[in-house]
Every structure is written in structure tokens, then in C-alpha cells.
A and B are shown apart, each in its own frame.
Chain A
Amino acid sequence: MTLEEGCILIADDSITQREQLRLILEKGGYRVSAASNGKEAIALMEQEKPILVITDILMPEADGFAVLEYMKNNTELKHVPVIVISVVEEMDSVVRCIEKGADDYLYKPFNPSLLKARITSCLEKEGLHERERVLHRNLAQSYEALREAEQAHDALFHMIVHDLNNPLSTMLGAVQILLRNARSGSQENGKLLEHLQNMHDSGAEMSLLIRSILDVSKLETGNMPVFLSPVDAVGLLKRLCEQFAPQAETVSVHLAFESGEESAMVRADEELLARLLRNLLANALRYAWEGGNVKCGVKKDGDDVILSIEDDGPGIPPEFKDKVFDKYFQDTSRGRKGRGVGLGLTFCKMAADAQGAEIRVESGEGKGARFEVVVKSMDASTLTPEQLAAESSLPEGQLHADTYRR
């Protein structure tokens, strides 16, 4: 609000004094509101939200002290500067007003130039105080954010240590058995394969964990390159479902892909979109009930193409729905079959943002979860793949992740 837009409220029981003040202030570009007593002034304050109040002390109904007391006890008005106007004989009253929070005073008859100077000074001081208050608020918010980040990092550290320790223990156990067998010469081919498989799976689990941490970090800092090109969303999701079929069978979940579209070209980074969908598929298989279903599909919706992955598991409680994409968030209420560090969906959100797509979730407790990735259709765009590449400021169509970050 500029000073000119702000209103100065005058409270004085003398019409002559009020009109004199009004003339001076309006000449100075201020909007003026006037009250003939303290009670009226208090009522006007609620409507006008003045930037400054000039008040007489001795007034009917409510005096200058009552006005000051009301203002200082009101959250919205307590910082509004107050100038008291009095006669010189009222020094005791002026002192009392200053003690009650008045910012300045003037004696009647006042000098218009001095009045203007005092108003400017009061408003400037209040402007500085307001900036100070805003800075203080921002500082408190930053401190709180830093504290939360520190807590999140501590939690992450503990989770990483825990999550790396489990597969590492499995791996070391398998190596120990293999070593013992090798030393005793009692190697059995069947067991050897089983131990090697365990070592491989544990290594893969650790690798996935480390990769998701690195991916989120790269996307956060804008260091993950994004290559936009025409991608067939139907072909991509279908292929991924085929890849996940053995895993679905292992956990006894029926994985189905259905699409009314033969193909649906979207503009995306194929590798990044595939990794995003793999995360969603892995999540859906993790949460679907044993013997349950995971349904995947692709449909066109105007200029968009929607890729969906839906499980019939326990669903997401309403209080967690807005948090599932938050970094390090883990929904502990859903009886997870496997544990991650809470970065999978964060990665999905960042990967979607990075290529100008959108990710959303529909869920209810006990109603499963449906994740949708909304990507811009290539049919809606007249850009050729070459033009798409040229969109980038980087050579060969390379875009930084933050180019599309919302």
C-alpha cells in the first residue's frame, strides 16, 4: 500500500481542528477520515485500517488514552503510528500518551510543515519497523525450515544405514558360506547358485537405494539432463508391464495392461519417464494385496495423455495424501512389504516436473491407490522432433531438469 492509498484518521472534538488537519493532509496527498470523539474513531479504525492516527486527548465518549489503549491491544492496529495533538499546558497528559504507546506529539496551534515532517518521519519509522518484523518472520521461518531439513537428513542417514546394513549382512552371510564351502571342498552347485542370487539381489537393492538418492539430488540441483523426444506412451507402459510380470507373479499379484489406444505419442524424456513408471509399478506391486490386482492403462484426454497405475491395496489415509510426494516421507500405516527411504515418489514428482508432466494420486483408505502421470500429447504439438530438440538452449536437445520445474 502506498502512502497515498492509505488513510490518516483524525480524532478531535473540535470541527475547526478537524477541518484544519483535513486541509493540510489532503493537500499532502493523504486520504483523510475524521471522527469527533474517541468512540467514533475506534469504530472508524475497524473500517478504514488507517496508516496513521492523529488524536486529541480530551474528547467526549472516549478520550485519547482510550483510543491508544484500544489500538495497542489490537493485533492489527498496534503498529499503526499515533501522533497526539494537545495544548502546551497538557504536558502530563502528553507524557502519559507516550507511555501508552503514542509515537509523537504536537502542540496547538501546530505548524503545518512540522506536522507533515512528523507524519513522514512516523510513517518512515513504521515502514522500517514493518520491514524488521517481516525479516524477523522470514528468519524464523528459515530457521524452522533448516531445523526440519536437519531432522530429515538425520532421519535419512539412519534409514540409509539401516537399509544398507540389511542387504550387506545377507551378502556377507552368503560370502561366508561360500568361503567355508570352498575351504572344505564341499561346494554344492544348487546352493552356490542360491547364494550368488542372494548376493546379487542384495547388491541390486543397495544399488537402487544409492541410485534413488543420487537421482533426487541431481534433479534437485538441476544436474540431470532431460532429453525431450516423441515417445509412444502405450508402447512404453506395455513394455514395462511385461518386464514386471515375473515380479508380479512372485508376489501373487495380477498385473494387467489395458488401453483403448493403439499408440499415444507424448513429448517426454523416455528414460526418465520409464524410470518414473518403474517406481510407480514397483510401489503398486508392493502395496497390492496378495492375490490382488494392479491395473495399468493409457488414455488420451484433450491435449494430454494420461498414464495410470492402480493397485487395490490398503490405499493412502487422507492425512497422508498431500505428503506422499514429500522428500523422505514414509507411510508407515500401510503395512509395507518392503521398505524404501521415502524417495521413490519424490523422484517421480521431480521427474514429472522436469519434463513438464504432472503426477497426481487418487486414493482413499481401503480403496487402493491410483497414480496418474499426465504428459503433453505430441498430437497437440506441431513440433517436429528436430524442433523439439531445438527448443533447448543446450546442444542436442538437452534440457536441464529445472527448465521445466514448476
Chain B
Amino acid sequence: MNDLTPVLMELGREESRDLMNGMKEGLTALQDNADETDFEEYVGELLRHAHTLKGVSRTIELRDVEETAANLERFFKKVRHSGSAGALNGTLCSGEVENLLERLDTALRYIERDQL
């Protein structure tokens, strides 16, 4: 365990929650507007958020959140790599978005519990 202060732990949980809520909204928006021209930039931002979440959750030792963040990062990389907006709703990501949204909800509940 890192010798993190309670203030720092709380800051880490808050930041993780904000990032996850942001990603939930982002994923939903992507599903709804997959043909938008700024798709690549948008996915890039979500990828960065997933990456930051991975670092923060690792620092404050929230292993489940870290695993979810790693999954999200891999997913966004795959979508970005496909280079096509259509990939999000195509066979490449079939069912993955729903699965990730579910995992984000679980992780958020985990954080809420951890805070109590």
C-alpha cells in the first residue's frame, strides 16, 4: 500500500468517478452519433480518459476500477485503429459497448461503497 494521505485517496476516488461518468456519457454519445466527423478526435479523448483512469486507480489501488479502465483503453484503441466510425456499431465491437457501460456502472458502485 502506498503511503497516501486520506485527502489524496479521496481526490483519487473523485477523479475516478468524474472520469467514469464522462466515459459513460461519451460511449452513449458515440453510439448515437457514430458518423460524426470529429469521431476520431472524440475517441482519442475517451482513450486518454481511460488511460488517466488506469493510472489514478492504480495509484489509489482500486484494482477493479483499474481493470475496467484497462478494458476501456483497449477498446478505444481498437476502435481508433479500425479508423472507421462504423466499427463502433459493427461486428468489431458487437456487444462490447453494452458490456463496458455495465462494467463502468459496477465500478462506480464499487467506488461509492469504498467511500462509505
| Residues of A participating in the B interface, judged by any CB pair closer than 8 Å | 13-17, 19-20, 23, 56, 58-60, 87, 108-109, 112
Contacts and interface: CB of A to CB of B under 8 A. Distances in A.
Given A16-B12, A60-B45, A108 B4 contact: no
A56 B5 CA distance: 22
B52 A13 contact: yes
Contacts of B11: 15-16, 19
Contacts of A20: 4, 8, 59
Nearest to A88: B58
Contacts of B3: 112
A51 B2 CA distance: 27
Interface residues on B, range: 10 to 19
Contacts of A58: 48, 51-52
In the complex, which of the residues B11, B45, B51, B54 has the most CB atoms of chain A within 10 Å of its own CB atom? Answer: B51
A16 B15 contact: yes
Contacts of A13: 48, 52
Contact of B8 (A19, A87, A108): A19
Contacts, number: 44
Contact of B55 (A60, A108, A112): A108
A20 B5 CA distance: 9
A108 B58 CA distance: 7
A109 B2 contact: yes
A90 to B, nearest CB: 9
A23 B8 contact: yes
B51 to A, nearest CB: 5
Contact of B59 (A23, A59, A108): A108
Interface string B50-71: 0110111011110000000000
Nearest to B3: A112
B5 to A, nearest CB: 7
Given A16-B12, A17-B56, A87-B54, A23 B48 contact: no
Interface string B2-18: 11110010011001000
Nearest to B48: A58
A16 B10 CA distance: 9
Top 7 nearest A-B pairs (CB, nearest first) are: A16-B12, A109-B59, A16-B56, A108-B55, A14-B52, A16-B15, A58-B51
B5 A23 contact: yes
A66 to B, nearest CB: 14
A109 B58 contact: yes
Contacts of B2: 109
Given A17-B55, A23-B5, A109-B2, 20 more contacts: A13-B52, A14-B52, A14-B56, A15-B11, A16-B8, A16-B11, A16-B12, A16-B60, A17-B56, A19-B11, A20-B8, A20-B59, A58-B48, A58-B51, A58-B52, A59-B48, A60-B45, A60-B48, A87-B51, A109-B58
13 contacts: A14-B15, A14-B56, A16-B56, A17-B59, A19-B8, A20-B8, A58-B48, A59-B48, A87-B54, A87-B58, A108-B59, A109-B58, A109-B61
A112 B3 CA distance: 9
B48 A16 contact: no
Nearest to B4: A20
A15 to B, nearest CB: 6
A259 B15 CA distance: 87
B54 A16 contact: no
Interface in B1-50: 2-5, 8, 11-12, 15, 45, 48
Nearest to B60: A16
A108 B70 CA distance: 14
B55 A87 contact: yes
B45 A16 contact: no
A376 B80 CA distance: 84
Contacts of A60: 45, 48
Contacts of A23: 5, 8
Contacts of B45: 60
Contacts of A14: 15, 52, 55-56
